[in-house]
């Protein structure tokens, strides 16, 4: 019988043989998934000697779903992700043409996965464009449901856009050019606090040093500035003696405490290049988070190795995912880098509390990369690399666990 991961009083309860739904993904999805699942199963087997095991349950989305059912995201898939709480997915094609939303965005919205979690850590040996990539070890909590991504936009020249522009002039005296397009940027206290709460709880659980609220509050006072204010308010309301802010200390952070601070987004983007070791857990809104996650990912190796997760820490629902696309020209060639989905699975094991298995994957990847056993994308940037296939890279990781 199926054993399900459940959430009781905000604590995840994980059975020894949980059923985990997976979406293989389109394009290179099957290549990276078949490599990744071997890595996950080996790590769990090595860590727990058969006492724990994941029961994988395939659910369909994307092209495979469309061919089998005529739907891109069947209801059964959405239900399975809700019911089993934790799932993992490969990349999905966004059908080209009018009316289609990205399937990834649809899944995030339907499950209200309000945190986009992107850990950014450097593995020795990976080609990097910066001088000291080993100083980068951050975890980005990006708000996933609000901000200019909410989709409230009106096109320039349409009657309703003109109507809104006229109303804003009449009601608030705002002079907006008549030929403007308009976008709305909602940032709520509820949305901000639940995101910042998740980031601070993560920092406490994982013994991190600091949480930085990144914002552009000097300009956008009632959205980005309010995000910052609500963050400090939350620290007072809920975290009391576990947290310090700059106002509480002079210089040194007391032992066992976590510093909550804030940074203006543009200065922050400079400092992650010049002084990345000053930053640890990052909490930010949707658009800033998009830029920051990709900028940081580029510093530690880029697209093939960048893991991600979308999580609702209140319901426990979480979908771990490769962050790159379907790279159709490489599909079926056993060639691409499976690290993104493998590291996402590592995150998933960590989320489930299976830290020993997660640590083995970390060790396996570090071992393979240190010996320069890499797929084509890294091999072309490294001297003396041994270029390996997707499946062989998985073998190398398993060998180095
Ligand atoms: P992409 O699939 O990410 O591929 C762009 C390039 O990135 C590839 O040509 C390759 O570069 C490199 N790359 C991507 N994954 C790699 C891997 N695992 N290992 C090594 N290199 C990798 O982006 P796209 O071509 O813009 O998008 C293709 C489709 O994917 C679209 O339908 C898009 O909507 C979808 N998409 C899905 C997701 C998702 O499901 N999360 C995300 C983004 C895009 P080189 O050729 O230079 O080696």
Ligand 1 closest atom vs CA 321? 41
Q: What pLDDT score does 256 carry? A: 87
How many angstroms separate the alpha carbon of residue 96 from the centre of ligand 1? 15
Mutation pick for ligand 1 pocket among 327, 334, 369, 389 (CB with most ligand atoms within 8 Å): 327
Say if residues 13 and 78 touch (Cβ distance below 8 Å).
no
H or E, element range at 212: strand 210-215
132-137 LR contacts (CB < 8 Å, sep 24+) = 132/276, 133/299, 133/300, 135/276, 135/277, 136/272, 136/276, 136/277, 136/296, 136/299, 136/300, 137/280
- Give the max Cα distance, the chain: 71
86 Cβ neighbours under 8 A, 6+ residues apart: 5, 18, 20, 316, 317, 318, 319, 320, 348, 351, 352
What is the number of other CB atoms lying within 10 angstroms of the CB of residue 202? Answer: 19
What's the pTM value of the predicted model, to 2 decimals?
Answer: 0.93
Q: What was the pLDDT predicted at 302?
A: 80
Looking at the DSSP bridge assignments, the partners of residue 183 are 153
Q: What is the pLDDT of residue 102?
A: 81
Beta bridge pairs of residue 215: 264
- The answer to whether residues 164 and 222 touch, using CB atoms and an 8 Å cutoff, is no
Residue 139: which H helix or E strand, with range?
A: strand 137-143
Which residue's CA is the closest to the ligand 1 atom numbered 26? 325
Q: What is the pLDDT along the chain (401 residues), one digit of tens a residue?
A: 789 999 998 899 999 999 999 999 999 999 999 999 999 999 999 999 999 999 999 999 999 999 999 999 999 999 999 999 999 999 998 777 655 678 888 899 899 999 999 999 999 888 899 999 999 999 999 999 999 988 899 999 999 999 999 999 999 999 999 999 999 999 999 999 999 999 999 999 999 999 999 999 999 999 999 999 999 999 999 998 889 898 888 878 888 899 999 999 999 999 999 999 999 999 999 999 999 999 999 999 887 788 999 999 999 999 999 999 999 999 999 999 999 999 999 999 999 999 999 999 999 999 999 999 999 999 998 889 999 999 999 999 999 99
Three-class DSSP labels, 258-299:
EEEEEEEHHHHHHHHHHCHHHCCEEEECHHHHHHHHHHHHHH
> Tokens 């905000």 map to which residue?
10
- Torsion sign (Cα): 197, 199, 203, 206: positive
Q: Which atom of ligand 1 is nearest to the CA of 102?
A: 34
Kindly list the protein residues whose Cβ atom lies closer than 6 A to any atom of ligand 1.
28, 91-94, 104, 303-304, 321, 323-327, 336-337, 340, 377
Q: Which residues are catalytic?
A: 149, 216, 266, 290
Per-residue pLDDT at 99: 59
Q: Give the distance (Å) from ligand 1 centre to CA of residue 108.
A: 20
Res 100: pLDDT:
63
CA of 324 to the centre of ligand 1 (A): 5
Pick the atom of ligand 1 nearest to 340's CA: 18
């Amino acid at each position: 019988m199926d054993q399900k991961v459940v959430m009781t009083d905000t604590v995840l309860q994980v059975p020894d043989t949980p059923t985990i739904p997976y979406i293989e993904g389109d394009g290179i999805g099957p290549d990276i998934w078949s490599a990744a699942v071997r890595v996950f199963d080996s790590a769990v087997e090595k860590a727990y000697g058969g006492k724990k095991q994941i029961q994988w349950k395939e659910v369909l989305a994307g092209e495979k779903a469309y061919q089998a059912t005529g739907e891109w995201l069947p209801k059964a898939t959405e239900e399975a992700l809700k019911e089993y709480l934790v799932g993992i997915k490969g990349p999905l094609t966004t059908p080209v043409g009018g009316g289609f939303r990205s399937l990834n965005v649809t899944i995030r919205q339907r499950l209200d996965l309000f945190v986009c979690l992107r850990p950014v850590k450097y593995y020795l040996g990976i080609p990097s464009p910066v001088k000291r990539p080993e100083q980068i070890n951050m975890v980005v909590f990006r708000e996933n449901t609000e901000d200019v991504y909410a989709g409230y936009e009106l096109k320039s020249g349409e009657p309703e856009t003109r109507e809104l522009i006229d109303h804003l002039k009449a009601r608030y005296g705002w002079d907006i050019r008549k030929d403007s397009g308009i976008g709305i940027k909602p940032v709520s206290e509820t949305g901000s606090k639940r995101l910042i709460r998740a980031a601070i709880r993560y920092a406490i659980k994982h013994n991190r040093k600091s949480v930085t609220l990144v914002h552009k509050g000097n300009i956008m006072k009632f959205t980005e500035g309010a995000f910052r204010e609500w963050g400090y308010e939350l620290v007072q309301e809920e975290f009391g003696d576990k947290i310090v802010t700059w106002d509480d200390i002079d210089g040194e952070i007391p032992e066992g405490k976590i510093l909550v601070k804030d940074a203006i987004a543009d200065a922050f983007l400079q400092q992650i290049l010049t002084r990345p070791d000053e930053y640890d857990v990052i909490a930010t809104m949707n658009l800033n988070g998009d830029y920051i996650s990709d900028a940081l990912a580029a510093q530690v190796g880029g697209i093939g190795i960048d893991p991600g997760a979308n999580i609702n820490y209140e319901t426990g629902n979480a979908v771990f995912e490769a962050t790159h696309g379907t790279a159709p020209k490489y599909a079926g060639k056993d060639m691409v880098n499976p690290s993104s989905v493998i590291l996402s699975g590592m995150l998933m094991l960590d989320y489930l509390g299976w830290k020993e298995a997660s640590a083995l994957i970390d060790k396996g990847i570090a071992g393979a990369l240190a010996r320069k056993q890499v797929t084509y994308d890294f091999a072309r940037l490294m001297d003396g690399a041994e270029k390996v296939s997707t499946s062989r890279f998985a073998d190398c990781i398993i060998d180095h666990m």
